[in-house]
Amino acid sequence: MAGYLKKKGHQVTVITPSDYPQFLNWMNGNGEVLTYEGQRRQKKANLLIEDADVIFCLDFSALGRIQDMENPVREAKAVKVMIDHHLNPEDFAQFFYHDSNAASTCELIFKLICLLGDKSMIDIPMGECLYAGIMTDTGSFRHPSTTPEVHRVAAEIMELGVNTNLVHRRIYDSSSTNRLKFLGYVLSEKLVVLPEYRTAYFVVTEEELKKFHSQTGDTEGVVNYALQIQGIVMAVIIVDRPEAVKMSFRSVEEFAVNTIASKYFNGGGHKNAAGGKTTGIGLEATLKRFLDILPEYKEALLAVTT
């Protein structure tokens, strides 16, 4: 989106509420992204937000999702444009391009640029970013969100000359040795399977993160491994982070995890992929809360055909 706006002659700054995994650092423009962390950068970002004419809010449907950036963005005089595919969009923007049936925000950005008659402006670096967004949000084109339209958009991006295999390798085959060892450890030592609830989960402590020199994004995707077990309907990873105990939920078929995330863990997300957190109660109490709610969902978990 930034690449497109720059080509249209605008001055653009990309601001992210928190740092993102290193496996995305190859993206064009990465060096100019401002992370909203630390006093100096927050101050700089606040001035930019205050001065902006337009703020594009990409890939989130409620301002609470951008944490400390919420208030500066809410109060900014800029025209706000939301481009997103998450459920229950909050009414904070003047313009919405929102479709909860879209597999990813990048799919929507591609379509928007085409609708504006500017498809020819999408160059290879922009196409790589768009493809990365679509590929990751569809789990490499396997989640139920992968519609024929997703494949059509991906095909059009390939036709631009994007090396999609390279994009895939940069994201999925760029693990550090520590990350791979961490994954091996978590799978062999931390996986708990509850066949009676068709649920599998991992609990990761702060010490374990430290032991494997865990970087931002190192736990990303780990939860999906638990869904590889035959018959498992819900998978969860609970990670003790300094700021909160973070949870990632995944599920299959009609079993919805976003409702669990929002009802019990201050979170939300999609039907089959959601996240949440607890603060102030610690890892053990978070796990207990999760285990205590399982009986409520037992019938629904057992009813799913896998």
Q: What are the residues binding ligand 5GP (CB under 6 A)? A: 65, 248, 267-270, 273-277
Q: Closest residue to ligand 5GP, Cβ-based?
A: 275
Contact in structure between 128 and 160 (CB atoms under 8 Å)? no
**Beta-carbon contacts of residue 12 (< 8 Å; ≥ 6 apart):** 2, 5, 6
In single-letter form, the type of residue at position 64 comes to G
For residue 64, how many C-alpha atoms fall within 13 Å in the half-sphere facing its CB?
Answer: 10
Query: How many angstroms separate the first and last alpha carbons of the chain?
Result: 38
Q: In whole angstroms, how close is the CB of 247 to ligand 5GP at the nearest point? A: 8
Residues with Cβ within 8 Å of residue 189, at least 6 apart in sequence: none
Rounded to the nearest whole angstrom, what is the least distance from the CB of residue 236 to ligand 5GP in the complex?
Answer: 10
Compute the least distance from the CB of residue 266 to ligand 5GP, in Å. 6
Nearer to ligand 5GP, 132 or 162 (CB): 132
CA distance 241 to 71: 24
The nearest distance, CB 58 to ligand 5GP, in angstroms, is 12
Cα(129)–Cα(146) distance, rounded to whole angstroms?
18
Considering the complex, state which of residue 154 and residue 274 has its C-beta at the smaller distance from ligand 5GP: 274
Q: Which is nearer to ligand 5GP, 3 or 276 (CB)?
A: 276
Q: Which residue's CB is nearer to ligand 5GP, number 44 or number 98? A: 98
Q: Which two tokens stand for residue 105?
A: 């925000």
**Residue 122 or 256 having the CB closest to ligand 5GP:** 256
CB of 53 to ligand 5GP, least distance (A): 27
Give Cα 294 to chain centroid, integer Å: 25
**Least distance from C-beta 267 to ligand 5GP, angstroms?**
4
What are φ and ψ of residue 49, in 5° steps? -65, -40
Name the residue nearer to ligand 5GP (CB basis): 27 or 238: 238
Measured CA to CA, the distance from residue 66 to residue 45 in angstroms comes to 13
If the CB atoms of residues 248 and 251 are measured against ligand 5GP, the closer one turns out to be: 248
How many residues comprise the chain? Answer: 306
Residue type, 100: S
Question: Nearest approach, Cβ of 130 to ligand 5GP (angstroms)?
Answer: 18
Cβ atoms 275, 247 nearer than 8 A: yes
